[in-house]
Structure 1
């Protein structure tokens, strides 16, 4: 059979290739009509004799890894215009590698650097003195403020702003004074930052995003924050100023991290968790404020029973009052 496109297992039809990446998707097998299914090594022995609509299977050691490689065959390819840089503004003092592709309506500031084979799509702004490494891909209308740096092979999605002023103010006799933000942002290699996210420049020094960090859409990373290598940050998370996130952490959606706190390496943070104090590495934390997962589950169980507990408490209080009255 001929395969035309990939599809998720729940919706796969003839002409599709699909993937069984986890046992939890086995319930969709009876209705799966894919022309080919990528499965784990033990699949055929486990489902021998089963009445399945799929007739063709590819057995692999790791179906998830195989899925990544196969999906890359269908990955969207950007079409490059002829003479892309003709309508862009490129400062005479900027150093742009000849192999870099600058689309129309980009702005490349003075003394900035654009590395080999980097791609800047329409509307990208690169400020004075900024450095864009090799193989960087910047989607439309993304912004890199002056003096900020992006490492090799990183991706910045549309609408993201790197290096805006940190949120720094002080009160002085009824007046709110802005603290000058004179630092920058340094982003490592192989980083990906989703659409409409913000990484603010440091007050002094650098806001640092380590190698291989992956940031979702609509994430706010404040001034002087440090994010360690390999950490993943899910959408709508906010990290306040001068906090430090360790290596290989995962922060779920809508996590809030207070200022000046440290989260240790390999920490898993559940969605909508509020971190207001330091968290040791290797923990799984959830809740508001953050607590270890086992404690959170106990607290949540009690929380869901509060109406019944309250009714029982009122009943007990009445019984105590009745006893007091009888003992008088």
Structure 2
């Protein structure tokens, strides 16, 4: 992606540039990318912004602007989040223009059903892949060799992030993409969202997903992960190699599920899961603790 300058967005949503600088992508402090332009609306995060080697530019209020490190680009706005969303939306338009200039690279051995929809630009599909009827592959998606995408599955569409754009609550457009590793198989009607600010949502080699799985923006899934039906893996979650996500499990955004961990059927996971651990329940806790508590409850029953 090309570099931008704060001065390109002068006046947008009331934005006033104090110190011009270049940045690569809009993002948040938690975004694992370099040369970020981030919003700052609270003094609680000022130290983190100033100490980050990933941040290149800051959009903040007049009251907070004096505390921003002089090495950083600086713009002020009455509502930093709204101004940041507007800048992000403009960057997304520029990214779409870049993608439109990238021709598809689809290996001749790939088997693509006539009923599938492949975007006319910005898509890579490797050797011996299969794309089933009704599947949708959006720009910015790369599918490596020997992967199977079954009917109705959508890869590379937008995820659920909202902001104020043009004064209205809108879905914020995504700038990143999706990378599906080799020998991945996604059954019918899965949905994989593209990454929000840059980089890729990633599904690792030999990972398999059952029907109706949702993988949100910026999720990083390792190798040989098993994802059962109706699982929701929310944004920025990292799932380690050989993990197991049971049917209808929900994984809160930004968590780490360790390698070889097991999330039981219907679990609602709100904390990181250690490698090799098993968690159960709503909210999910250690499987052993859950069973012990369940035994006490049953003893209490008349």
Question: TM-score w.r.t. structure 1 length?
Answer: 0.58
Alpha-carbon distance in structure 2 between the residues aligned to 1:124 and 1:247:
30
Distance 1:268 1:227 in 2: 14
Q: Match for 1:178 among 171, 193, 202?
A: 171
- So what's the TM-score if we normalise by structure 2? 0.63
Structure 1 position 123 matched with structure 2 position 115: yes
Deviations 1:176-217 (A, max 9, x none): 133220111000000000100000011122100011100110
Give how far 1:293 is off.
Answer: 1.3
The alignment partner of 1:135 has SS state of coil
Confirm or deny that 1:218 pairs with 2:212.
Answer: yes
Q: How far off its partner does 1:149 sit?
A: 0.7
- Structure 1 counterpart of 2:105: 113
Distance 1:118 1:217 in 2: 22
Partners of 1:172 and 1:139 in 2: CA distance: 36
Return 5+ residue gaps in structure 2 as ranges: 1-100
The partner residue of 1:141 within 127, 134, 142 is 134
Cα–Cα, structure 1 residues 272 and 174, in superposed 2: closer, same or farther, change >3 Å? farther
> 2:189 aligned to 162, 179, 196, which one?
196
| 1:25-40 correspondence runs (5 A) | none
C-alpha distance in 1 between matches for 2:108 and 2:274: 40
Q: CA RMSD, aligned part only?
A: 1.9
**Against the structure 1 CA distance between its residues 178 and 283, is the aligned structure 2 distance closer, same or farther, given a 3 Å change threshold?**
same
Q: Secondary structure in 2 aligned to 1:166?
A: coil
Of 251, 262, 277, the match for 2:256? 262
Structure 1, unaligned stretches of length 5 or more?
1-108, 309-328
SS of corresponding position for 2:279: strand
State the alpha-carbon separation in 2 of the partners of residues 285 and 153 from structure 1.
Answer: 32
Alignment of 1:141-160 (within 5 A): 141-160=134-153
3-state DSSP class of the match of 1:207?
strand
* 1:306 Cα deviation after fit: 4.8
Q: Distance in 2 between matches of 1:214 and 1:300?
A: 32
Distance 2:108 2:226 in 1: 27
| In 1, Cα distance between equivalents of 2:166 and 2:124 | 40
- Give the structure with the larger strand fraction: 2
Indicate the SS of the match to 2:292: helix
Q: Hey, what does 2:61 align to over in structure 1?
A: none
Distance (Å, rounded) in 2 between the aligned partners of 1:117 and 1:302: 59
Report Cα offsets for 1:26-78 as digits up to 9, x if no partner. xxxxxxxxxxxxxxxxxxxxxxxxxxxxxxxxxxxxxxxxxxxxxxxxxxxxx
Relative contact order: is structure 1 or structure 2 higher (C-alpha 8 Å, sep ≥ 6)? 2
User: 1:173: how far off?
Assistant: 11
Whole-Å Cα distance in 2 between the matches of residues 274 and 303 of structure 1?
Answer: 20
1:276 equivalenced with 2:254 (yes/no): no
Matched with 2:226 is 232
Q: Is the 8 A contact 1:159 1:196 kept in 2?
A: yes
**How much does 1:171 deviate?**
5.4
What CA distance in whole angstroms lies between the structure 1 residues aligned with 2:171 and 2:188?
Answer: 28
How far apart in 2 are the matches of 1:237 and 1:176?
27
After superposing the two structures, state which structure 1 stretch, 287-296 or 159-168, moved more: 287-296
Quote how far apart the aligned CAs of 1:110 are. 7.2
